Amino acid sequence: MRTLKFLLQKEFKQIFRNKALLPLIFIAPVVQLLILPLASDYEIKNINISIVDHDHSVYSQQLVSKITASGYFQLADYSPSFQEAFNQIEKDKSDLILEIPQGFERNLVRENEEKLFVAMNAINGVKASLGGAYLTQIISTHNNDIRMKWSQQSKFKPSPKIEVTTSNWFNPLLNYQFFMVPGILVVLVTMIGAYMCALNIVKEKEVGTIEQINVTPIKKYQFVLGKLLPFWVIGLFIFSFGLFVVAHLVYGIVPVGNLFLLYGYLAIYLVAILGLGLLISTFSDTQQQAMSITFFFIMIFILMSGLFTSIDSMPEWAYIIAKCSPVTYFIEVVRMVILKGSGFADIKNHFLIMMGFATLLNGLAILNYRKTS
């Protein structure tokens, strides 16, 4: 314990002496947590639409007014022909085209039906699909309003009908920030822990102090613990500051689950992710190598962790890779505990899996570190 105490003192002094490192550890995560949730919005608004109205009737004008008043669309062009509207798409000034045929109102009144033509710029598939869905829903609502005006009150007892009432659990207002902030906080803690830990041993190699440590009677597990514990404490601090200060004061997120359960899982997760950083540093000879390897893993963790898209919708091979990432499990746990209030029975398998990650990665780091010149 005395040896470990001196190693920890040395590590903390090195961390706080590095004036360039401190802003990256303490300031950058806070700034990112303030900015990233504002950009990670699942809703797509301000979709530019070109409208070609050949009818110029009351019903067509009402439909155009509903589209522009929905908040999802911006009227980019009111063209007299489809070709002119299509030119707006080619110039990337419009995303959708709605063409209202001539006789739109007349056919609705006489034949009780009419067709509309919608063209979408599908270069951005997500924007096209969501924009088309928004537009279809608005048209459907407009259609129902017209039917209600035409329908006559029945003289007899009205026929039974089914009414559907929705209830949103855990996030009643459907605030996407409640869903994204916990996941982004996990990614930030992962990046800080993995990057800083990966660069730690490599920096000792480049400076030459690793040779002085190798000739001492320090054991391998003591050396690894001395490198791991400081960043474990820093990871706990960053997570706590992000959860109780930024997430609570800025976004209004209040954890509904057991905080002791959450921090128990966080403690094991940090051991696992710091073990990954230490393992990378034992294979790297320069800081550039360590950063490149860590960047490779971090990108996979971010894109395949379920942060932005559900892993259940991934192909089978991608789903297997996602399940091999510790970040995937921690994002699930954070969202379950903070938003749903899940208990230990709900995440006990996640605990066992994360303990396996921590044991495997740190065990490999200890075995791979050799006290050789």
pLDDT in tens, the chain (373 residues): 777 887 888 888 888 887 777 888 888 888 989 888 887 776 777 899 999 999 988 888 999 999 988 888 999 888 888 999 999 888 888 999 999 999 888 888 787 788 899 999 888 887 888 888 899 889 888 888 877 776 655 555 555 666 677 788 888 888 888 889 999 999 999 998 888 888 877 887 787 777 677 677 777 777 778 888 889 999 999 999 999 999 999 999 999 999 999 999 999 999 999 999 988 988 888 888 999 999 999 999 988 998 888 888 889 999 999 999 999 999 999 999 999 999 999 999 999 999 999 999 988 888 887 654 4
Alpha-carbon distance of 165 to 177, in angstroms, equals: 24
Predicted local distance difference test score (pLDDT) of residue 265: 96
Q: What is the pTM of this model?
A: 0.81
Predicted local distance difference test score (pLDDT) of residue 161: 63
Q: Which fold has domain 47-145?
A: abc type-2 transporter like fold (3.40.1710)
Predicted local distance difference test score (pLDDT) of residue 373: 41
User: Which of 207, 224, 233, 206 minimizes the C-alpha distance to 279?
Assistant: 224
- Could you tell me the sign of the dihedral formed by the alpha carbons of 20, 26, 27, 29, in that order? positive
Sorted by sequence, the CB contacts under 8 Å of residue 122 that are 6+ apart come out as 128
Predicted local distance difference test score (pLDDT) of residue 152: 56
